[in-house]
Chains A and B, each alone.
Chain A
Amino acid sequence: MRHEFRVTVGPTGFRIGSDWKQPLDRLAALYRGYPAPEIPDFTVRLFARRHWRRIVRPSVTIGGDYMLPDAAPLSLAHGLLGAEMGMNLQMALGQRRYLLLHASAVERDGKAVLMTGESGAGKSTLSALLGERGWRFMGDEFALIDLETGALHAFPRPVSLKNEAIGLFESDVEPCRLGPRMCDTPKGDIRHLRPPDDAVERMAVPAKPALLLFPRFGHAPDVRDIGEAEVFVRLTQASTNYVALGEAAFHALSTLVQTVPTRAIDYPDTQSAIDTVERLWAELAE
């Protein structure tokens, strides 16, 4: 392919090929300082389905080792999103070494808080905010659980901030940590936020899961227990590779559920959420 970019995130190496230079230049800026793999785990391709689509009304089709049959192509302006989606897809469909949970995670003193739930629940934004407030950011999208040890491995990618969340960071972080503003994407406006330097430097350092939260945004503050069986079911629904990993995943997940304290938390605003996380951490994880 015409252009290539390689990057290692946590334990996984990616090779991204592209028919256009621009998306890869933007990727390189967001991933500055990350290591690069000699042999990648996964290949992503951003390509023009018809050769003339490279130039005339450029249309980016996402491909790679694993592909979806009906994926709609993106405009070149959103090519960076295409690369991110391509990487997500490889992880979601191809990750076979770690149990993949759709969750964000931050770490302190070798222990981690995991936050999981539906889109819009705020787990991504919360993890980014905590990462700016003394916690080590481990990831906002994928949490990787070691099948043998149960340890959590970091997967710290630039956080995809959407719509109002963008405003929470724009004035507080150095401008070079923010990617271009992409408007009118299927999810609204998006800007990427580079993780803090320590998150990148320590991305190979795992942590022990110590608290599991199911946050819900836009409600009066509340904290609730959840039954273990329900937690188990909800986590399998938050995993794309639970079935593929067989008994090892069953063991890792049931151990996680039995050993890690879990709470559902409702919050009206991010400060309230952060306060609740700190309080529960002191109560349950320390």
Chain B
Amino acid sequence: MAADPVYRADPPEARRVIALDGVALIFHRPSGLTHIVAPPAPQILDALTEGDAGAEALLDRLERDYEFDDSQDLEAALEARLAELETAGLVWRA
């Protein structure tokens, strides 16, 4: 059975983030690419500054630091955004 993946992101200096009506524009310096991501993706990136983490640990960090709508299934959103961030190259498996 494979261990749960542990994720890593670049340090905050690698990104330039601008918030525009509910989404985040991210300029990713290492790639020169621009991404548009919705919550909790920007929050995931911030949470990873503390250090590498798997999905469970990230969930804890997000719940600790932010108030999310109760109606949101945060765990499912986390999984979906993590997958997108990985495809985009903003997050990778340590």
Contact = CB atoms under 8 A, between A and B. Distances in A.
Complex: A in contact with B (CB within 8 Å):
yes
A250 B16 contact: yes
Interface stretch (A6-14, A33-41, A211-219, A225-233): A225-233
A246 interface: yes
Nearest to A247: B27
Contacts of A258: 18, 20
Interface of chain B, main secondary structure: strand
Contact of B34 (A227, A250, A257): A250
B93 interface: no
B23 interface: yes
B57 interface: no
Nearest to B29: A247
B25 interface: yes
A217 B72 CA distance: 41
Interface of chain A, main secondary structure: helix
| Residue among B22, B25, B29 with most chain A CB within 10 A | B25
A243 interface: yes
B29 A254 contact: no
| Residue among A229, A251, A254 with most chain B CB within 10 A | A229
Interface string A241-268: 0110011001100100110000000000
B25 to A, nearest CB: 6
16 contacts: A227-B21, A228-B21, A229-B25, A229-B36, A232-B20, A233-B36, A242-B34, A243-B33, A243-B34, A246-B32, A250-B25, A250-B27, A251-B16, A254-B18, A254-B25, A258-B20
Interface of B: 16, 18, 20-23, 25, 27, 29, 32-34, 36
